[in-house]
């Protein structure tokens, strides 16, 4: 297992935790986790990488060891956090960025907001959310107001063993050894001696702002880097999240100028836990293909 180092840096008024593998000065690979996940989940991907990367994986605000945001969580704040992270770990140099789920949604839009900061972009089932309609806004705001009045805490578990059991229920392909490694990072002690997820319970509140797909499409259209869409082997999660309207998915795909797609077989949504070796290989294969195409004066854009 490759040794990870923890660094704490100030970012936008919060004490941010960043996990790194490798040596500064090597090519930077940024790994961005999704909702209710932590940077330690990428340990197994880092172990499987063959190239000598400097791997950088933050805990997003309010997750893992990063400080909670006192005023709640708003999507543009993640863009600002990523902007600061890249300025810290890849100053003056566009980075290779991989984002899973929520992390992919952040990275995908950011890549159009700051296209000069992204060299290669890899999105693992971070292809946007389900479309919404303006008439949904009153009910959404009402729900948000109601949830602000209640303390929606997390379910607790009976020590590390309880967390290990829960992780293996959530992710059946996760080996017992990997679940036991991840458990103390994914959870934190509660006041009663039990353990709870290492996250601010405020993340459980519904977002007051509707997802506006048109804005995401506009950002994606401004992305200049080659993009890889990575699907898990079971499409059910993405179908539940964003539907199966082929016209809608065509709009999402066509927004990107240079898009490649691949699938990680025998995996669900959490492919970095289910098949980290296959995911690491897909990341490095795409980067190698992009490098070869750039040398030959071509741009990648095939769909596998």
pLDDT interval class at 297 (50, 70, 90): low
Q: What pLDDT was estimated at residue 152?
A: 77
pLDDT interval class at 296 (50, 70, 90): confident
Q: How many other C-beta atoms are found inside a 10 Å radius of the C-beta of residue 8?
A: 12
Residue at 192 is within a domain: no
User: Is residue 300 pLDDT above 70, yes or no?
Assistant: no
Q: What pLDDT was estimated at residue 298?
A: 60
> Which residues is 229 bridged to in the sheet?
123, 261
Distance CA 4, CA 20 (A): 6
Residue at 26 is within a domain: yes
Which of 94, 121, 117, 93 is CA-nearest to residue 32? 121
Distance CA 185, CA 166 (A): 14
134 exposure class (CB count in 10 Å sphere: 0-12, 13-18, 19+): exposed
Reported as a single tens digit per residue, the pLDDT across 207-259 is 999 999 999 999 999 999 999 999 999 988 888 888 888 899 999 999 999 99
Reported as a single tens digit per residue, the pLDDT across 47-93 is 999 999 999 999 999 999 999 999 889 999 999 999 999 999 999 99
User: Is residue 301 pLDDT above 60, yes or no?
Assistant: no
Domain count, the chain: 1
Residue at 185 is within a domain: no
User: 116: domain CATH number?
Assistant: 3.40.50.1820
């Amino acid at each position: 297992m490759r040794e990870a180092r923890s660094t704490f840096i100030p970012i936008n008024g919060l004490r941010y935790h960043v996990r790194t593998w490798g040596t500064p000065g090597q090519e930077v690979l940024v790994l961005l986790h999704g909702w209710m996940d932590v940077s330690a989940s990428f340990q197994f991907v880092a172990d499987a990488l063959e190239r000598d990367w400097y791997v950088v994986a933050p805990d997003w605000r309010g997750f893992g060891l990063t400080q909670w945001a006192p005023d709640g969580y708003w999507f543009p704040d993640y863009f600002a956090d990523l902007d600061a992270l890249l300025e810290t770990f890849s100053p003056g140099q566009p980075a290779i960025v991989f984002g899973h789920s929520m992390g992919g949604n952040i990275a995908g839009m950011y890549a159009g907001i700051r296209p000069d900061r992204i060299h290669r972009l890899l999105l693992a089932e971070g292809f946007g959310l389900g479309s919404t309609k303006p008439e949904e806004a009153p009910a959404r705001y009402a729900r948000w107001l109601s949830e602000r009045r209640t303390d929606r805490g997390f379910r607790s578990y009976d020590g590390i063993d309880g967390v290990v059991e829960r992780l293996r229920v959530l992710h059946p392909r996760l080996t017992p050894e990997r679940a036991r490694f991840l458990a103390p990072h994914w959870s934190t002690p509660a006041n009663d001696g039990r353990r709870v997820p290492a996250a601010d319970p405020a993340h459980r509140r519904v977002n007051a702002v509707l997802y506006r797909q048109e804005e995401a499409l506009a950002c994606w259209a401004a992305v200049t880097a080659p993009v890889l869409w990575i699907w898990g082997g079971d499409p059910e999660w993405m179908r539940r999240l964003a539907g199966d309207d082929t016209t809608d998915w065509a709009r999402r795909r066509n927004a990107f100028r240079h898009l490649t797609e691949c699938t990680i077989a025998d995996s669900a949504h959490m492919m970095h836990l289910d098949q980290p070796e296959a995911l690491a290989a897909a990341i490095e294969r795409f980067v190698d293909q992009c490098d070869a195409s750039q040398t030959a004066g071509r741009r990648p854009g095939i769909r596998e």
